[in-house]
Structure 1
Amino acid sequence: MLRMLRGRPKAQTSSSHHCSPAPAPAQAPAPKTPLDDEDLLQEILLRLPPNPSSLPRASLVCKGWRSILSDPEFLERFRKHHHTPPLLGFFAGHVHATPVFTPILDSPNRIPASRFPVPQSHSRNDEWRFMGCRHGLAVLLEVSRREAVVWHPLTGQRRHVSFPPGMHTDDWNRWHAAVQCADAADGHVHGDCFSNPFKLVLILVAQRVRAFACLYESASGAWGDIASTATRDTICYTQPSVLIGNAFCWLLGEADILAFDIQRQSLGVIEKPNMKRYFDSSVRLFRTQDNGPGLACLSKLTIQLWERKSYCDGVVGWEMLQKTIKLKGLFPRRMRGYDKLVYLSGYDEDTNAIVLTTETGNFTLQLDSAQIRHIIKRDYICDNTFYPYTNFYTAGRGVGWKWVDQKL
């Protein structure tokens, strides 16, 4: 037995010999995903909703996404894809006070009011009068300095345009103005148009018997000829312009419509339909589905709609629509007892929605669908005018940019 044990080979230990591990099998490369294709990735990112938080939040994913989302060419494609900028909120205020931006979107898309501070007047004795917004631009008037101010809330930039010679009065309540982007390029999407040419219309109603209008075009840097027409009343100071077809329109005190044809640079008055007299806060000018003028009239919590139509024989006239909107059945139940006092205090021409003011706050009412939304909650009624502000609030843009004050 001893000999057998001695004849056995000694066991090999790890200290004397090292066994090499078997080579690992070669791993196949990871399959590519659609997100690895930059062209396809951009097509996916284009379809993010146009909410203020969409692009900033997506840019946090990685550097590659942030590089794409901050590219000006991508941002332009993003705007063209969605075409219509979102309604970010309203500039709301009394006619004698500087309006304040009032956001209406929910978090995380809610933009604080401090992001869009309305510029202050150079004179302590004269406030800039806010005239309204369109295509991401706002227009204000400083009558004491005879200036119109085109302001871009997103960047804070503004341009000053001196009044044309030949239109004179120191009564600020007789002036009105409207602005629009004048970029005629194919595929241009309105919303971020400060660097584009614009058209500015200045209105003056003298002694309630005659109105004057003049068109300024930034492309030429010049005012056109002054147009005028007879009128029976002044423009309602709580009623900003509505762009209907190729004309800026304002509601006059008697519910007639003052219309300035931008292409012809002519001024005229559209007489109101045969209806009863309404207070300024009970009637609103709106744009119909046929891109014509319409009137929304509120009486006893019911909105009646009038539409101006062209008939086949060439006759143009007003027609009262059978559609009515009963507000009492639309307001929340908790408003019972507080819905007797309602004002029409604003209009958004892009969404065809009217702003309602009540004792429990403000609502937007979509005229086509009769959908109602509670946008501002309060326990008292106010007489503010609401000017809608729409724009693409995208990554890399904001009021933090240095504004440029240009004199034209």
Structure 2
Amino acid sequence: MEDDDTVPHLPMDIMYKIPAHISDTASLARLASSSKFWRNLIKDPTFLDRLRRRHHDHGFTPSLLLGFFYQDKKRSSPNLWKHHIDKTRCLAPSFMRVSELSQFVGSKSARNAIKPLSLETFIPGLGASLNFYKPIASQDNFLALHRQSKATAANGGWAINDLLFVCNPLTGETFEIPSHLYVPPDHYALFVSNDVDINGRMSQSFELTAIWIKKGDRFICVCYSSKTGTWTRSQGVPQLMHGLYLVSSSTAASFGVIRWLCGSWKQMSVTHVATLHIGNMALSYLEIPPEAKRNKAPVPGSSADGGILLVIVQGLQMTLWKHNSALGSDSSSWVLSERIDMRSSLPQRVATLGIRAKVRLEMFRGKSGTMVLWIDEEGLFLFSLSDRSMRRIDRAHLTKKYFLCPYEIDWLSCLAITNLVVDGSLSLDAERQRTQGRWRTLMGMNLATNGAS
């Protein structure tokens, strides 16, 4: 490690090129922590813009995904749940690090027996205040949670409302969200923005959006802004194009839009991707490729540049389609980006079943290029598009016992906002030292020697 005031003895043109050849998040963060020279170079807007453009093909950066938050439903004291509305025994949200999931290839498999972390590990003082809260959305360091609560309605009866909470496990920030006083919505989406003040200082703000789908084709939306601290109902009630219906189980939210798959009543199959633009509540449509129309469960996603991705799992084969906006807005505007044979990555028993194997894609994260697969009689697995690695998430319980919420970071903002220090080589003030501790805990204690997994 370099002293903080020492500049490496290399030609300047070479030093400026070194960070451009590093794409791993932890490696860049460690380099930024080694000296002021590297830190200022990596934080420079010109470098960050070049880095973003370099990843615009897909934007897959595996180490953006730090792990999964989930609601733990293991048995607990009866005192915890006896007054709760649904009598479900739940604990506060827990966190499972990607770096500690068991990795295997084919028959070389292992079981992960690591004890998960509590959300209180990152934000001390929460304690049991988040018991029964379920993670519902995450975006660029922020995590949204909710639980349902019974309240007295105006007519004297009972109404079910959502209690909401947003936090940033990396910085330790917490936000208690006032109730929107409506029945629980069909979907929540979290959108994070990077803001720059007049002095050039960067900060982050967020919008939590609640969406109701009325009669299966009309959208009603209310948004909570961290800047104003209030809920605002969007103008207009957009309606799906005639003849289409929503496939509500498949959604993707990013860059101020939410995407659903839509089917045609006439064809009784998936035919379009519908995009709801939250800013003006406008709907746009994109016809999907013919191969996707023949599949019952394609999953939409977004790449790091906001492009539309579509993932199809059929048997042991996976195909990844990307929309090329320059080609138009019909099925011919899709490009087959990748075709992946998963047999070498799957458990040996599953691979030998061939087309009889039951593999289902549960969720897809376009920034990290990772997805969660459900494999019958095996459990949940994490699959990385970048290196084709497979990690076991849960094998002890062969049903989906936990609601998983992938936790990705916006590491460029982390560098620019918090001056993350991951090696301990600099003298730290108290706040930066706490941030360092949360970073190391989220990434895993072996970060300094092994990097991101």
Give the secondary-structure state (helix, strand or coil) at the position aligned to 1:387: strand
**Residue 377 to residue 218, structure 1, CA distance change in 2 (3 Å):** closer
Greater radius of gyration (CA): 1
- Which 5+ residue runs of structure 2 have no aligned equivalent? 9-14, 53-60, 74-87, 102-111, 150-160, 264-268, 412-419, 423-432, 439-453
Determine if contact 1:308/1:317 at 8 Å carries over to the other structure: no
1:3-402 mapped onto 2 (5 Å cutoff): 35=2, 38-40=5-7, 50-51=25-26, 77=43, 86-92=64-70, 100-106=94-100, 113-117=116-120, 127-144=132-149, 145-154=161-170, 156-164=172-180, 168-169=182-183, 172=184, 174-185=185-196, 196-222=204-230, 223=232, 225-231=234-240, 232-233=245-246, 235-236=248-249, 239=250, 241-243=252-254, 245-251=255-261, 257-262=273-278, 264-268=279-283, 270=285, 273=288, 275-276=293-294, 278=296, 282-288=297-303, 291-312=306-327, 314-317=328-331, 319=334, 321=336, 323-331=338-346, 333=348, 336-337=351-352, 340-358=357-375, 359-367=377-385, 369=386, 371-376=388-393, 378=395, 381-383=398-400, 384-391=402-409, 396-397=433-434
- The one-letter code of the counterpart of 2:196 is A
Give the secondary-structure state (helix, strand or coil) at the position aligned to 2:7: helix
- The one-letter code of the counterpart of 1:86 is L
Determine if contact 2:93/2:118 at 8 Å carries over to the other structure: no
**TM-score, normalized by length of structure 2?**
0.57
Per-residue Cα deviation, 1:343-371 (whole angstroms, up to 9, x for no partner):
2122222122222232445443344x462
**CA distance in structure 2 between the aligned counterparts of 1:230 and 1:301, rounded to whole angstroms:** 37
**CA distance in structure 2 between the aligned counterparts of 1:311 and 1:94, rounded to whole angstroms:** 45
**CA distance in structure 1 between the aligned counterparts of 2:24 and 2:335, rounded to whole angstroms:** 38
**Residue 357 to residue 199, structure 1, CA distance change in 2 (3 Å):** same
- The one-letter code of the counterpart of 2:204 is N
Equivalent in the alignment of 1:19: none
Per-residue Cα deviation, 1:79-126 (whole angstroms, up to 9, x for no partner):
98798773211224599977532211159xx996325359789698xx
- Which 5+ residue runs of structure 1 have no aligned equivalent? 1-33, 60-64, 187-192, 402-408
Count of aligned pairs = 332
Higher relative contact order (CA 8 A, sep 6+): 2
Per-residue Cα deviation, 1:271-306 (whole angstroms, up to 9, x for no partner):
66351352xxx4321225763222212222222334
**Greater helix share, 1 or 2?**
2
- The one-letter code of the counterpart of 2:239 is A
Q: Give the CA deviation at 1:377.
A: 5.9
Determine if contact 2:287/2:329 at 8 Å carries over to the other structure: no
Determine if contact 1:347/1:353 at 8 Å carries over to the other structure: yes
**Residue 112 to residue 149, structure 1, CA distance change in 2 (3 Å):** same
**CA distance in structure 1 between the aligned counterparts of 2:4 and 2:71, rounded to whole angstroms:** 49
Give the secondary-structure state (helix, strand or coil) at the position aligned to 1:154: coil
**CA distance in structure 1 between the aligned counterparts of 2:394 and 2:329, rounded to whole angstroms:** 45
- The one-letter code of the counterpart of 2:234 is D
**CA distance in structure 2 between the aligned counterparts of 1:331 and 1:78, rounded to whole angstroms:** 42
- The one-letter code of the counterpart of 1:114 is L
Q: Give the CA deviation at 1:199.
A: 2.2
Per-residue Cα deviation, 1:138-159 (whole angstroms, up to 9, x for no partner):
1123454444321222355421
Q: Give the CA deviation at 1:307.
A: 3.6
Give the secondary-structure state (helix, strand or coil) at the position aligned to 2:318: strand
Q: Give the CA deviation at 1:164.
A: 4.7
**CA distance in structure 2 between the aligned counterparts of 1:143 and 1:87, rounded to whole angstroms:** 28
Give the secondary-structure state (helix, strand or coil) at the position aligned to 1:265: coil
**CA distance in structure 1 between the aligned counterparts of 2:4 and 2:134, rounded to whole angstroms:** 51
Give the secondary-structure state (helix, strand or coil) at the position aligned to 2:358: coil
Per-residue Cα deviation, 1:247-282 (whole angstroms, up to 9, x for no partner):
2334568755453324x332426366351352xxx4
- The one-letter code of the counterpart of 1:159 is F
Determine if contact 1:286/1:294 at 8 Å carries over to the other structure: yes
Greater CA deviation, 207-216 or 326-335? 326-335
**CA distance in structure 1 between the aligned counterparts of 2:166 and 2:178, rounded to whole angstroms:** 11
**Residue 147 to residue 267, structure 1, CA distance change in 2 (3 Å):** farther
- The one-letter code of the counterpart of 1:241 is A
RMSD of aligned Cα (Å): 4.9
**Residue 328 to residue 35, structure 1, CA distance change in 2 (3 Å):** closer
**Residue 335 to residue 92, structure 1, CA distance change in 2 (3 Å):** farther
- The one-letter code of the counterpart of 2:218 is R
